[in-house]
Structure 1
Amino acid sequence: MAQIPSHVPAASYPSPAAVVQLLKPITWFPPMWAYACGAIASGAGMGDRWLPIATGILLAGPLLCGTSQAVNDWFDRHVDAINEPDRVIPSGRMPGQWGLAVAIAMSALSMAVAGLLGPLVFMAALCGLALAWGYSAPPFRFKQNGWIGNGVVGLSYETLPWITAATAALGHAPPTITILVALLYGLGAHGILTLNDFKSIRGDREMGVASLPVLHGPDMAARIACVVMATTQLGVILLLAQQGLSTGAALVTLVLVLQGLCMLRFLRDPEGKAVWYSAFGVGLYVSGMMAAAIALRESSLAAMTVG
């Protein structure tokens, strides 16, 4: 097993900056965005709901997602010592058992805030928290297999926040079309997670983590990621078109075409362009999510008016 570097002077507790770095604010965006999409897609009025919606976004991003990052870094500390030794735990800036302590404290805080938003949100948050721990921690450690682990994260980061927000805003389960769109975007996020695996191929291979680039090689993994992202968005386009939401379908089609152009460049050099594609292609992907959410909102408002 890889040894954690000890070149940094030992400290008895982490600095606030180290705690923030452990929670990785840059990763909070996807679930926060998905929660916002769900709230918008519900068609519920936002004027008197801004506080619970804002609290829900806080729960999805800094709290639950931040917790998942702390859990993952704690149980991945030996892999990170190979792949990214400058991270807070292997570098020594998060000493001793503090990484685990932060993960546990954030879990408790997440559930306390979820409890303020009602039983439906609490149960959804509990499910998300269980998946976060199961993804990284033994005995499940879903991330050991890229097919399973990436699917768990995609559903946790996209589908679950979207449906939770819509349910909380409406006070009941959202329409089937909303659930299906949220499910498709969560499944498509499997490809996004595969992109993230390209940066850690060496360490994953050494530590026995069967990510898709390790299982199938970088070229095939890149093709799989692109196919997964493209086909799920085609499903969204068909669902929107079937509901007569032609503008939303056209906008999602446009962002998919632009992603396709980016994919062509990515597929020519998967390892060299994975980070580049994550910046441009994923940005387009989440733009399509919002376009779909707005289309669903217009559909919901029209149905309320007719009703």
Structure 2
Amino acid sequence: MSRPALSTVAELFKPITWFPPMWAFGCGVVASGAPVSERWGLVLVGVLLAGPLVCATSQAVNDWFDRHVDAINEPNRPIPSGRMPGRWGLYIAVLWTLLSLAVGLVLGPVGFAAAAVGLLLAWAYSAPPLRLKRNGWWGNAACGLSYEGLAWITGAAVMAAGGWPSERSMLLALLYSVGAHGIMTLNDFKSIEGDKQMGIGSLPVRLGVDGAARAACFLMAGPQAVVVAMLIEWGAIGHALGVAGLLAVQLGLMWRFLAAPRERATWYSALGINFFVLGMLVSAFALRATTGQTG
């Protein structure tokens, strides 16, 4: 087989992972306070850039440089299984990087810069010499910033006609990026054996299963508590109560997760993160309602 099937390429891009950055981009659009009807074309381009381009690129890059780890943890993935032969994984990662940069130019200087930084983080996370994923603290921070913060900033910048978002919008983007650090840790519980063998210091490897679970919960819940306090300070009491309620549900689910973190990491990812991302949207609407300013 000289080239991969299209279905194999689609599997390499992991479409299910596109949702978080696309959602964060949408939250940035909402937070801007600007009417979507005036820039709907750019919004569609931004959603395409956040998910099927930049995020898909990060998945392709990660699969190529993780092919030896995946041979242990997930041998049925496209590259270790042989369904994506030769160096096709690398070629696709490079091609999608260039395509993402080209599309990013449509969104103006700030949108392009955010896309470029996201792509740089994607390569730095997986590829040597940096390979940030060897340290769970740095690697998950890079993912969280790329998937949530930069996508939010890009959405707000698009609606600001290429300008920078407001300080409040930037602060919310940063806080939810920290929360995403904890979400990324949940994904590491399924690959502990391969990570240990290949020298990847994910948080479950560094801190142990229980320590990593507690760290993940703290990183997810802490920023949301700060968001609640900020929304109260901004006078968005109803929105603050909404985020607090969603956080309370997460805390209940975290309690169950902490009782058996390795067995329930996937369960929490499938259930608890929904309340996290809903809180993002509530806070974006709070910013839209309280500032009336672009970004």
Give the TM-score taking structure 1 as reference length: 0.94
Residues 121-177 of structure 1, C-alpha deviation per residue, up to 9 Å, x if partnerless? 111111111111000000000000000000010011000110121122113222211
Is 1:71–1:136's contact at 8 Å kept on the other side of the alignment?
yes
Q: Hey, what does 2:204 align to over in structure 1?
A: 213
Which residue does 1:109 correspond to in 2? 99
1:27 aligns with 2:17: yes
Alignment of 1:1-307 (within 5 A): 11-171=1-161, 172-301=163-292
Which ranges in structure 1 are unaligned for 5 or more consecutive residues? 1-10
- Contact between 1:38 and 1:161, CA under 8 Å: does it hold in 2? yes
**Secondary structure of the corresponding residue to residue 38 of structure 2:** coil
Distance (Å, rounded) in 1 between the aligned partners of 2:80 and 2:41 = 38
Structure 2 residue identity aligned to 1:188: G
Whole-angstrom distance in 2 between the partners of 1:203 and 1:30: 26
The aligned amino acid for 1:90 is P
Unaligned runs of 5+ in 2: none
Q: Distance in 1 between matches of 2:78 and 2:62?
A: 12
Q: Report the TM-score, using the length of structure 2 for normalisation.
A: 0.98
Give, in angstroms, the shift of residue 120 of structure 1: 1.7
Kindly tell me the number of residue pairs found equivalent between the two proteins: 293
How far apart, in 2, do the equivalents of 1:117 and 1:235 lie? Answer: 31
* One-letter amino acid matched to 1:195: L
Which structure is larger by alpha-carbon Rg, 1 or 2?
Answer: 1
Deviation at 1:178?
A: 1.0
In the TM superposition, what is the alpha-carbon distance from 1:300 to its structure 2 partner?
A: 3.0
Misfit runs of 4+, over 2 Å? none
Note if contact 1:42-1:300 (Cα within 8 Å) is conserved in structure 2: no
Separation in structure 1 between the aligned mates of residue 113 and residue 284 of structure 2, nearest angstrom: 23
Distance (whole Å) between structure 2 residues aligned to residue 231 and residue 127 of structure 1: 26
The secondary structure found in structure 2 opposite 1:174 is coil
Moved more, 173-182 or 217-226: 173-182
Summarize deviations over 1:253-289 as a string: whole Å, max 9, x none.
Answer: 0010000000010000000000000011111100100
Q: Percent identity?
A: 55
Aligned to 2:86, the other structure's residue is in SS state coil
Structure 2: distance between partners of 1:216 and 1:254: 30
Asked if the contact 2:110–2:164 (Cα under 8 Å) also holds between the matched residues in 1, the reply is no
Q: Structure 1 counterpart of 2:45, which letter?
A: T
Work out the CA distance in 1 between the residues paired with 2:4 and 2:228.
Answer: 47
Q: Is the 8 A contact 1:177 1:239 kept in 2?
A: no
Conserved in 1, the CA contact under 8 Å of 2:114 and 2:153?
Answer: no
Q: What letter is aligned with 1:283?
A: N
